[in-house]
């Protein structure tokens, strides 16, 4: 199992200080939520963790090695990303899309085997898309397409799953089912799950660690039990909150 760490990382986008000399270690079995207002750099931080973007200072360490030194293929064998949105200009079926996840594990000129197809079908079954193989993406709803994208990530089967607003477009039931699936990936399969979430209550219920981005370079990282205090969250979102439950913790905006 891999370990991902931020080593004295500083990040800036334009005038926004995302973080300054930040040290965080993400260990197997942990499920992290990244929280913060719009434009505080949550997606930027996630992309940086995936090695898609250079840091302004410091480095991202994947098993102790600086991620920008590693070939993309090596990274993809350990780190997977669910982007915020996907756009498919060309026709493709559900199974073909899920099978893309096998790419980093196949030798360069190999074709997908029956075994790969079985893995892709199992991943599709996990997101509730059984027997949808031949459907084309264009005929799916936004939420269904989101689940296909998630199945691609599960087919890739990385040790570290980075997810940018994974509950986008999903109905209430699928939001809960998805977050439950991700939490189990961490707890039962010793994966690292790091996700950007906007729903504070879902984050508090399913994540065990969280990382708060204030947008001024201040960052607060730790276990949910330590970090998720009403006063802290009110400052984070610039919004008065009322705590309505302790187990699991839940808040309503005032």
Partner 1 sequence: MLRPASLFGLLLLACLAGLMGALLIGSVSLPSTDVFAALIGNSNEPQHSIVWQLRLPRALSAFTVGGLLALSGALLQVLLRNPLADPYVLGTSGGAAVGALLAMLTGLSGAWLNGSAFVGAVFATFLVFGLARRDGDWSAARLLLTGIILAAGWGALIAFILTIAPEHNLRGMLFWLMGDLVAGDIPWPHLLLLCAVLAISWLLARPLNLLARGEMQARTLGVAVAPLRNTLYILAALSTASAVTLAGSVGFVGLVIPHLLRLAGARDQRVLLPACVLAGGTLLVIADTLARTLWAPQQLPVGILTAAIGIPLFLLLLLKQRADIHT
- Check residue 68 for interaction with partner 1 (CB under 8 A): no
Judging by DSSP bridges, how do beta strands 160-164 and 192-196 pair with one another? Answer: parallel
Residue 151 within binding range of partner 1, rule CB under 8 A: no
| Distance set, CA 155 to CA 71, 219, 222 (Å) | 20, 33, 30
The tokens for 133 are 């193989």
* Contact flags string 69-98 toward partner 1, x per CB under 8 A: --xxxxxxx-xxx-x--xxxxxxxx--xx-
Give yes or no for residue 154 binding partner 1 (CB under 8 A).
no
Q: What is the rounded (10 degree) CA torsion for 99, 104, 107, 110? A: 20
Binder of partner 1 out of 38, 64, 108, 173 (CB under 8 A): 108
Contacts of 39 (CB under 8 A, 6+ apart): 16, 215
Supply the DSSP symbol for 136.
Answer: B
Q: Under the criterion CB under 8 A, does residue 227 sit at the interface with partner 1?
A: no
Nearer to partner 1, 92 or 176 (CB): 92
For residues 118 to 147, the per-residue mask of contacts with partner 1, x marking binding by CB under 8 A and - elsewhere, is ---------------------x--------
The DSSP output letter for 247 is T
Site string for partner 1, 174-203 (x = CB under 8 A): ------------------------------
Q: What's the min distance (Å) between Cβ of 146 and partner 1?
A: 14
Beta-bridged to residue 221, according to DSSP, are: 211
Question: Please, which residues have CB within 8 angstroms of residue 73's CB and are 6 or more apart in sequence?
Answer: 104
14 is a site residue for partner 1 (CB under 8 A): no
Size of the site for partner 1 (CB under 8 A): 33
Parallel, antiparallel, or unpaired for β 160-164 and 209-213? Answer: unpaired
Q: How far is the CB of 158 from partner 1 (least distance, A)?
A: 9
As a whole number of angstroms, the distance between CA 150 and CA 180 comes to 13
Of the residues 18, 22, 33, 50, which one makes contact with partner 1 according to CB under 8 A: 50
Binding residues for partner 1, rule: CB under 8 A, are 50, 52, 71-77, 79-81, 83, 86-93, 96-97, 100-101, 103-104, 106, 108-109, 111, 139, 156
């Amino acid at each position: 199992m891999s370990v991902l760490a931020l080593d004295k990382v500083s990040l800036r986008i334009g005038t926004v200080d995302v973080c300054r000399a930040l040290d965080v270690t993400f260990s197997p079995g942990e499920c992290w939520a990244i929280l913060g207002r719009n434009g505080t750099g949550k997606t930027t931080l996630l992309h940086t963790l995936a090695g898609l973007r250079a840091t302004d200072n410091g480095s991202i360490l994947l098993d102790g090695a600086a991620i920008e030194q590693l070939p993309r293929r090596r990274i993809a064998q350990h780190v997977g990303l669910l982007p915020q949105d996907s756009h498919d200009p060309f026709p493709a079926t559900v199974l073909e899309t899920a099978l893309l996840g096998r790419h980093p594990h196949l030798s360069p000129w190999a074709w997908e085997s029956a075994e790969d197809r079985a893995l892709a079908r199992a991943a599709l079954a996990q997101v509730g898309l059984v027997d949808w193989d031949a459907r084309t993406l264009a005929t799916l709803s936004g939420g269904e397409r989101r689940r296909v994208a998630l199945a691609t990530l599960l087919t890739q089967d990385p040790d570290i799953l980075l997810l940018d607003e994974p509950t986008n477009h999903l109905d209430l039931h699928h939001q809960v089912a998805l977050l439950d699936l991700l939490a189990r990936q961490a707890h039962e399969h010793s994966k690292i799950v790091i996700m950007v979430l906007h729903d504070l209550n879902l984050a508090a219920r399913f994540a065990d660690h969280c990382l708060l981005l204030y947008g001024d370079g201040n960052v607060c990282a730790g276990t949910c039990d330590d970090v998720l205090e009403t006063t802290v969250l009110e400052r984070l979102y610039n919004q008065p909150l009322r705590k309505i439950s302790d187990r699991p913790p839940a808040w309503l905006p005032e």
